[in-house]
Amino acid sequence: MIRSFLCLLAICPLLHAAPPNIVLMLADDLGYGDLPAFGAKDVRTPHLDRLAAEGVKFTQAYANGPECTPSRTAIHTGRHPQRPGGLECPLGTGNVGRYDDAIRLREQNDLGLPPRMAVLAPALKQAGYATALIGKWHLGYEPKFNPLDQGYDRFFGILGGNVDYYRHVELSDIPVFIEGRTPVTRTGYMTDLFRDEAVKWVRQQEPQKPFFLFLSFTAPHFPFQPPGTADEPMPTAEQWTKGTRANYVKMIENMDQAAGAVMAALKETGADDNTLVVFASDHGAMEPGSNAPWRDFKETLFEGGIRTPVLARWPARMKAGTVDDRPWTLMDLTASFLQFAHATPPDGRPLDGHPVLVDVVEGRDTAPRDFFWRARRGERTWRAVRSGGLKWIAREDAGSPAEEWLFDLTSDAVESTDLKTARADDVTRLRSLMSAWEREVRPER
């Protein structure tokens, strides 16, 4: 109450600060252990290293799902990805639903994020921002789910989850490389095309108008095609998800160069000082990626599936060289961006996320809260709760007994010692929290 009153008296600096430009760069399937800033020894990323040195490195940031679509749903809505329905699992190549609710929506030609549920870009646009999404969408193939109807002024990218980096097609017959609403043909490596489009868009912005750029990379997601291999044949279905660590590293290093080009454009245009740049991954990596030191990979709710490397830099407001270990999730970015922009959700409903980056800028702690995950694919359902340092995980496959784990992340961050038998009361408590949360986030359609 006192803090709110002081803000009304013009003591709260964010209320009178010029809204920052915001650039969100999201890697695809990049592991926590795939960046030098987070311990990688075999990768060179000088531009992202500089982002870490000049900004904040977050060591306990989580994706809101262990795969692409749910994580992106959480960012675009600022809410748990379970709420829209059908988006707890990536949309399958060719617009395929992969679990019962998604299959139902696909049969109704309704598998995607409804524009009425989008929050991030519409709120920023309403607050006077120019908005662009360049790169991967993965929130609906059908025209009614186009990003231009979800608050973006500019869209240049792919509709699906993965494409050949040179031919820009997926393993289906649906045109997926789109500019605005129209399929396009371009020559070049996918990451480089996104880089060039992002740099051009930044240079076109008017100095007096704030802008939001969502640069949504496909790298280093499969197919594992590094730059310089355009003459090699398109991978077959059997080869599509196979790759070497060497090629994967080259893809990361090329993405780093793209990030560096965007940051250079910010400096060239004089926008650098008042631009908040955030770099993150949408979830953990699959092999040959590295989630070290965390357990397991993408598609699971162990730390390796959902712990994501996040870097943030805002020269005007963030202290350089900061390491921040508070736990939070990617949907908190949405709440943070809206507060910095003096924006509110268009639908007037509260967000599920918390403005963590505002806490960082204002130098205050973030109140403890519980974190929840549910991920569905086929007949398998993962569930997890983190409450304080305790984390409960369950995996249920149709026709098989459920498996459960309980870990104390304060003493066992790598999830090596299962405590479910020794701490049965905690298992019961966290199960109860999960059940209550599932009732609260039932799908809205």
Task: Give catalytic residues, as residue numbers.
Answer: 68, 138
Q: Give the tokens for residue 106.
A: 């696909």
- Pairwise CA distance, residues 220 & 402, whole Å: 33
In Å, how far are 81, 176, 203 from 263, measured between CA atoms?
30, 28, 11
State how far Cα 383 lies from the chain centre. 19
Cα 332 from chain centroid (whole Å): 11
Among the residues of 342-423, which ranges form H helices? 356-362
Query: Are the CB atoms for 212 and 124 separated by under 8 Å?
Result: yes
The alpha carbon torsion through 66, 70, 72, 76 (nearest 10 deg) reads: -140
Burial of 377 (0-12, 13-18, 19+ CB in 10 A): middle
Question: What span, in angstroms and rounded, lies between the C-alpha atoms of 34 and 189?
Answer: 21
Greatest extent of the chain over all pairs of C-alpha atoms, in Å: 65
Q: Locate tokens 């109860």: which residue?
A: 432
The DSSP bridge partners found for residue 155 are 133
Closest CA to 216 of 31, 110, 76: 76
